[in-house]
Amino acid sequence: MTDLCKEINKFGKGIGNEARYRIIQSLLKGHKTVSEITRIVKLSQPAVSQHLATLKSCDLVIAERSGKEVFYAVNAEYTLKLLQNLIKDMDKKPSRKR
């Protein structure tokens, strides 16, 4: 299993869930604290923390504490590079149609 393989798989695990996808969407508009995200996605705080932990382990988000709060942001460089690599990969070996 190539590295890209594993990375894309993580990516898929991360966004392959409605709640997490909504979290990512909200973060695309700017970094947010856990409580802000909690309000936006309308899930309990623990549920949100758990999803954020998953997203972090997938490298899709970055966390940064600022006092009592923790800001989460999309790991944009990483994600963009990943997607671009995937696209390159797919372009490179297109599936023959028949």
Contact residues: its own copies, CB under 8 A: 1, 5, 8-9, 11-18, 21-22, 25, 27-31, 64, 66, 71, 73-74, 76, 79-80, 83-84, 86-87, 89-91, 93-98
User: By CB under 7 A, what part of segment 21-60 binds DNA?
Assistant: 33-35, 38, 43-47, 49-54
Find the shortest distance in angstroms from Cβ 95 to its own copies: 4
Reference 58, options 22, 20, 26; nearest CA is 20
Q: What are phi and psi of 88, to 5 degrees?
A: -60, -45
Give the sign of the dihedral formed by CA 53, CA 56, CA 61, CA 64: positive
